[in-house]
Amino acid sequence: MNKNSKGKVLVAMSGGIDSSVTAMLLHEEGYEVIGVTMKTWDYATSGGNNRKTTGCCSLDDINDARILAVNYGFHHMIIDIREEFGDFIINNFVDEYTAGRTPNPCVLCNTHIKWDALLRRADQLGCEFIATGHYANVRYENSRYVISKGKDENKDQSYVLWGLSQEALARTKFPLGKYTKPEIRKMALDRGHKELAKKSESYEICFVPDNDYRGFLKRKVEGLEERVKGGDFIDMQGNVLGKHEGYPFYTIGQRKGLGIAMGEPMYVIRINPEDNTVVLGKKEDLKRQQMKVRKPNLIKYNEIPTDIDVLTKVRYKDKGTMSHLSINEAGEIEVDFMAEVKGIAPGQSAVFYEGSDLIGGGFISR
């Protein structure tokens, strides 16, 4: 290691603007940077201008990451994690939908795949740290590594990081947490990277680039459509309203695409895989003031604080609702909201905040 270096850091580089600027900033700060791009999925491609790419590590993105590393004079490598990604993330994605839940693959990928892969490779390369382009902050306080929201409220990504361990956070850097997205774009422009600054962002699931998760499930699970098609839509009292296309193809809170006319807007209230029924109701039927959360992971505290009120988010773009937390005998977190919350979907992440600090999170069970 260069004696003038601040240490070796392995930077996850997707080829996008956020991870690229992350690598630039750490390089400029004096760290010995090694860039790594993780190949998670086989992306469909075709010739000419019709080549299909996605917003996460397509062939073009991998090449962009490599070129940037060459230009800045640091090493770059590609690691193939398709097998472990597919076995865990995609199988879980399918299993959750077929269990009548709505999965959160990005949270699982961060926790069980990307961070593990980065830390293993960091150890092999003698890197003290790893870094990503997430808009979040991490600090050490009261013998805990604490994640807090990024400066840019519109880009804050602390929600998807609740599953990280203390051991992982001890070695993690988030250089972008103290900046806004416009500031990051300006940094890229100021350094002469006009094309990088113009890159659009992807909000799709990387292995479902067309955003058609129903089509993905049908292709992935042989005979699924035939097995589940023709179940009943029912109302809150159990009365049959009509037939549906199969319970895995609906999500809590869904209104459009139900294929049933009731004379007034109807929403998916509950999904029952055991008898292939989908419960429909009115908008107010989506409201709840309690939920349970399984497999919790705590960030700021060693145990759930029962003497404070926290802000609970039930989806990424949720503004959050003040609530009180407790632990039941099954080890689940019981959440009592101080106001009614709409569209609580089993399988999604519930994430708890104290001010800007991330207390922890878990998966909504019911």
Q: How many residues does the chain have?
A: 366
User: Is 56 annotated as catalytic?
Assistant: no
3-state secondary structure of 277: strand
CA distance 110 to 206: 13
User: Is 109 annotated as catalytic?
Assistant: yes
Alpha-carbon torsion 148, 151, 153, 159, what sign? negative
Query: E strand or H helix at 241, and its extent?
Result: strand 240-243
CA distance 187 to 322: 37
Residue (of 130, 149, 102) closest to 26 by Cα position: 130
Which residues 6+ apart lie within 8 Å of 200 measured at CB? 55
3-state secondary structure of 96: helix
Q: Are 98 and 224 in contact (CB under 8 A)?
A: yes
Which is catalytic among the residues 56, 57, 106, 109?
A: 109
Q: Are 327 and 354 in contact (CB under 8 A)?
A: no
> Bridge-partner residues for 36, per DSSP?
12, 77
306's tokens = 């029962």
- Point out the residues that are catalytic: 109, 206
